Chain A
Amino acid sequence: MSTYLLKRFIAMIITLWLIVTGTFFLMHSVPGSPFNEERTTNAAIQKNLESYYHLDEPLLVQYGNYLKALVKMDFGPSIKKSSQTVNDLLGRGFPVSFELGFYTLILAILSGITLGVIAALRHNGIIDYLAMSIAVLGISIPNFVMATFLIEQLAVNFPIFPVATWSSPSHMVLPILALATGPMAIIARLTRTSMLEVLTQDYIRTAKAKGLSPVKIVFKHALRNALLPVVTVLGSLAASILTGTFVIEKIFAIPGMGKYFVDSINTRDYPVIMGTTVFYSGILILMLFLVDLAYGVLDPRIKLHKKEAK
């Protein structure tokens, strides 16, 4: 198992390096200098700025420096927000974004699994159709539409929750709801399908033949097996929640990483774009790794295959 972990770790580093490299050259392939847009800067100042940010050095040298800094977890300075580093922005934005993303993921997983299990147990019943209609709707309504709808209904028409910002638990309700609907719907559908599949398995019939109660059959025998496919999509769901935070943070004016990212795109603040991208990718790759570990814990067959493979 430990050699497997090591292998996975090396693969993680390689993927991350590929992303860093890809992002770096993509960002530096944009024609012109990032300072071009500002009409006020004259040629001399532009030159100064470029040398200050080492933009006048050969690309490969810049790339080498960037990698060296990255190893030390230094994402470099922001171009547009003077006297601030990307690390400053991340340090301020990440805790907020993490809170939003984490609660969203928890809510999506818990409610999605519950909905999916209930739908499967009431297969072809009214509750099933209702739950699955909600799920298709949840998948179809884009998160920013959901956000605007929630604001319109629950903050403007019926002022139950505050419209924006991130300062108290009641501020968190709407953004989390808006962001969680899609992933919840995906989890619910997947759980239902996989639960239905598991319920037809022979070992469920065996459990019934033992005289176990339906509750025991569902929770002890079916659920764990039904959740295996759900665990595998958690990685990509985390990715979609992450991209979702860009727009949700923008709509609700939440001072998170996503907002900085979107702002940096609009102001062409390349070091910030690059830094946040690399940071996001790192988190996602870590997520995928954790999902893999969780899968190994849930399914005892996994470890053996790894051993047998050697």
Chain B
Amino acid sequence: MELLKYEERNISPEIPDEWFVPKARNNQAAEAVVRPSLSYWKDSWHRLLKNKLAIAGMVFLVFLAILAIFGPLISPHSVETQKLTMQNLPPSSEYWFGTDDLGRDVFTRTCYGARISLFVGLMAALIDFLIGVVYGGFSGYKGGRTDNLMMRFVEILYGLPYLLVVILVMVVIGPGLTTIILALSITGWVGMARIVRGQVLQIKNYEFVLASKTFGTKTARIIRKNLLPNTMGPIIVQMTLTIPSAIFAEAFLSFIGLGIQAPHASWGVMANDGLSTILSGYWWRLFFPTLFISLTMFAFNVLGDGLQDALDPKLRR
């Protein structure tokens, strides 16, 4: 190919001649990493903080926990003391949430309800976590025939309608707080076991885990650096979503008369009591327990959603 002559070329004379010297070599510039890398948890935490709804949920739950622990202490009224002269009083400075048909303070009872709900939710989540991690982890780790058999069993339990099973168990072992938790745990762990097992199975074969092994990385380091960030995310999300469903189940059971029994305070019991007075205009008796059930479930749900978005490593950009 023939080249065009110098005169015909497009040369800009305004560029000074002294710029036409070889550039000083700087190899690092070409390889420079542009964005700072954040650790997994830090990164997730930053993303969670950006989710205002999730943070609002978290704040509410902290507030609820404080109310559950200290509410009955600061309230001048006790949970079960009946004052028949103080029946069905609307909310006032004396009775913040009003009183019920036996003259009991609705605020104190709501705080007790928070105790029950949070306790049931947390216990159910904890038991699910323990059973699920052990069962699912073992099944996934073992693999093969054991895994197959264990998962068949899980599938059968998974196919059963959760609340129906819980109701049947409650019928057999009778109502009460511990029995609720027991009944919830009988099939509740199944979801967690599936998640853990899936994660373990997947990660066991990931190339990066194999790669770390071939580099001679210590097992503890592999677990901390590779397995934990990848399994903890889905586990935490599953736990935050187990809690509201356990809280719902308790309220549901108490509402239909199978859960916490009458003199004790639970949001489900209070809602059921309040329902019968709906035509009498004692709105506060229904309003406060149902408001608290809904807000609590809402808070856990938005927090769970937020965590899911924040902890999903695939979303990291």
A interface residues (Cβ-Cβ under 8 A, vs B): 15, 18-19, 23, 26-27, 29-30, 136-137, 139-142, 144-145, 148-149, 151-152, 156, 163, 239-240, 242-243, 246-247, 250-251, 262, 265-266, 268, 273, 277, 280-281, 284-285, 288
Contacts and interface: CB of A to CB of B under 8 A. Distances in A.
A156 B161 contact: no
Contacts of A139: 297, 301
A26 B275 contact: no
A73 to B, nearest CB: 20
9 contacts: A136-B302, A137-B294, A140-B295, A141-B298, A142-B252, A148-B286, A242-B164, A277-B164, A284-B161
Closest 3 CB pairs of A and B: A140-B298, A140-B297, A239-B161
Nearest to A239: B161
B138 interface: no
A239 B293 contact: no
A26 to B, nearest CB: 5
Contact of B172 (A27, A240, A242, A288): A27
Contacts of A145: 271, 290, 293-294
A7 B159 CA distance: 17
B161 A247 contact: no
A13 to B, nearest CB: 13
Contacts of A23: 168
A142 B297 contact: yes
B163 interface: yes
A266 B259 CA distance: 12
Nearest to B294: A141
B278 A250 contact: no
Nearest to A133: B53
B161 A242 contact: yes
Task: Please report whether the interface of chain B is mostly helix, strand, loop or mixed according to DSSP.
Answer: helix
B40 interface: no
B189 to A, nearest CB: 17
A197 B161 CA distance: 29
Contacts of A30: 171-172
Nearest to A149: B290
B286 to A, nearest CB: 6
Given A140-B294, A284-B161, A262 B156 contact: no
Contacts of B97: none
Contacts of A15: 156, 159
A266 B286 contact: no
Given A26-B172, A243-B163, A148 B271 contact: yes
Interface string B220-263: 00000000000000000000000010001001100111100000
Contacts of A265: 167, 171, 256-258
Contacts of B67: none
A263 to B, nearest CB: 10
Contacts of A262: 256-257
Interface in B184-210: none
A20 B121 CA distance: 30
A136 B305 contact: yes
A27 B173 CA distance: 10
Nearest to B159: A15
Contacts of A140: 244, 294-295, 297-298, 301
B162 interface: yes
A8 to B, nearest CB: 13
Given A19-B160, A246-B256, A29 B286 contact: no
A191 B159 CA distance: 23
A142 B169 contact: no
Contacts of B163: 240, 243
Given A142-B297, A262-B256, A273-B168, 4 more contacts: A26-B169, A145-B271, A240-B161, A281-B161
B278 A151 contact: yes
B293 A142 contact: yes
B286 A152 contact: yes
A265 B252 CA distance: 14
B29 interface: no
A26 B168 contact: yes
B248 A142 contact: yes
B258 A280 contact: no
B164 A280 contact: yes
A27 B171 CA distance: 8
B119 interface: no
Contacts of B271: 144-145, 148
B10 to A, nearest CB: 38
B95 interface: no
Interface string B165-182: 001110110000000000
A250 B294 contact: no
Contact of A148 (B168, B252, B278): B278
A251 B252 CA distance: 12
Contacts of B164: 239, 242-243, 277, 280-281
A156 B278 contact: yes
